[in-house]
Structure 1
Amino acid sequence: MITERQLSILNAIVEDYVDLGHPLGSKTLIERHQLDVSPATIRNEMKALEEFDLIEKTHTSSGRSPSVQGFKYHVDYLLDQASHQQQSKTQRLKTLMASNHYNISSALSEFADEISKASQYTTLVMRPDHKQDVINDIHLVRANAFLVIMIVVFTSGHVEHLHLASQAPLTNEELTKIANFVSAQFKHQRDVRFDSEINMFTNSPTERDFIKNLVSSLEVHIDEQSNGIFTGGKVKLIDALNEQNVSSIQPILQYIESHKITQLLDSMSNVPISVKIGDEIDDHLSDISIITSDYHIDDNLRGQIAIIGPIAMRYQNVIQLLNAIW
Structure 2
Amino acid sequence: MLTERQRLILAAIIQDYAKTGKAVGSKSLLEQLGLAVSSATVRNEMASLEEQGLLQKEHTSSGRVPSQRGYRYYVDKLMRRRQLSEAVHQSLERVFSRNFQQIDDLVQQMVTEMANLTGYTVIALKPESVDTRLSGFRLVPVDGQQIMAIIVTNDGQVTSQSFRLPEGMDVHGLDDMVRYINQTLVNQPIVDVLRTLSGDLPLKMERTIRTPVAFLQLFGDVLARSIRDKVFVGGRLNLMDFTVDTNLQEVKQLYQLLDAPTAMRHVVGNANDGVLVQIGDENGNSLLSPYSLVSATYRVPQHGVGAVAILGPTSMMYADMVELVDVYRTALSQQLLEYYR
TM range, smaller chain:
0.7 to 0.9
How far off its partner does 1:54 sit?
0.3
The 8 Å contact of residues 166 and 210 in structure 1, kept in 2 or not, is answered as no
The 8 Å contact of residues 14 and 71 in structure 1, kept in 2 or not, is answered as yes
Mapped partners of 2:5, 2:219: distance in 1 = 63
Distance 1:253 1:310, change over 3 A: farther
Amino acid at match of 2:50: E
Amino acid at match of 1:232: G
Q: Deviations over 1:77-98 (max 9, x none)?
A: 477x559x9xx995876545x3
Aligned to 1:12: 12
How far off its partner does 1:22 sit?
2.1
Aligned to 2:315: 312
Alignment of 1:292-307 (within 5 A): 292-294=295-297, 300=303, 302-307=305-310
Q: Deviations over 1:252-294 (max 9, x none)?
A: 3422224786454222231243333333343355432222234
Distance 1:130 1:68, change over 3 A: closer
Amino acid at match of 1:131: S
How far off its partner does 1:119 sit?
1.1
Amino acid at match of 2:236: K
Aligned to 2:43: 43
Distance 1:254 1:57, change over 3 A: same
Aligned to 1:71: 71
How far off its partner does 1:311 sit?
2.0
Distance 1:175 1:91, change over 3 A: farther
Amino acid at match of 1:175: V
Mapped partners of 2:59, 2:178: distance in 1 = 76
Aligned to 2:57: 57
Mapped partners of 2:111, 2:81: distance in 1 = 22
Aligned to 2:111: 112
Q: What SS is found at the alignment partner of 1:324?
A: helix
Q: Normalising by the residue count of structure 2, what TM-score does the alignment of the two structures yield?
A: 0.73
The 8 Å contact of residues 111 and 123 in structure 2, kept in 1 or not, is answered as yes
Distance 1:291 1:93, change over 3 A: same
Amino acid at match of 2:67: S
Mapped partners of 2:147, 2:214: distance in 1 = 10
Alignment of 1:199-210 (within 5 A): 199=203, 203-204=207-208, 206-207=210-211, 209=213
Mapped partners of 1:23, 1:29: distance in 2 = 11
Alignment of 1:267-306 (within 5 A): 267=266, 268-271=268-271, 272-281=274-283, 282-283=285-286, 286-294=289-297, 300=303, 302-306=305-309
Aligned to 1:160: 159
The 8 Å contact of residues 56 and 67 in structure 2, kept in 1 or not, is answered as yes
How far off its partner does 1:117 sit?
0.9
Mapped partners of 1:220, 1:174: distance in 2 = 18
Q: Deviations over 1:222-263 (max 9, x none)?
A: 36x423x3433233222234xxx3424651342222478645
How far off its partner does 1:114 sit?
0.8
Mapped partners of 1:284, 1:187: distance in 2 = 35
Q: Give unpaired runs (5+ residues) of structure 1.
A: none
Aligned to 1:131: 129
Mapped partners of 1:193, 1:25: distance in 2 = 68
Amino acid at match of 2:181: I
The 8 Å contact of residues 127 and 299 in structure 2, kept in 1 or not, is answered as no
Mapped partners of 2:305, 2:294: distance in 1 = 17
Aligned to 1:222: 226
Aligned to 1:33: 33
Alignment of 1:120-269 (within 5 A): 120-126=119-125, 128=126, 131-143=129-141, 149-163=148-162, 169=170, 170=173, 172=175, 174-186=177-189, 189=192, 192-194=195-197, 195-196=199-200, 199=203, 203-204=207-208, 206-207=210-211, 209=213, 212-222=216-226, 225-227=228-230, 229-241=231-243, 245-248=244-247, 250-258=249-257, 262-267=261-266, 268-269=268-269
Amino acid at match of 2:118: S
Mapped partners of 2:190, 2:59: distance in 1 = 66
Mapped partners of 1:134, 1:71: distance in 2 = 41
Q: Give unpaired runs (5+ residues) of structure 2.
A: 331-341
Mapped partners of 1:74, 1:130: distance in 2 = 34
Mapped partners of 1:191, 1:257: distance in 2 = 29
Amino acid at match of 1:323: D
Distance 1:30 1:172, change over 3 A: same
Distance 1:78 1:49, change over 3 A: closer
Amino acid at match of 2:282: E
Distance 1:198 1:78, change over 3 A: farther
The 8 Å contact of residues 93 and 297 in structure 1, kept in 2 or not, is answered as no
Q: What SS is found at the alignment partner of 2:185?
A: helix
The 8 Å contact of residues 156 and 297 in structure 1, kept in 2 or not, is answered as no
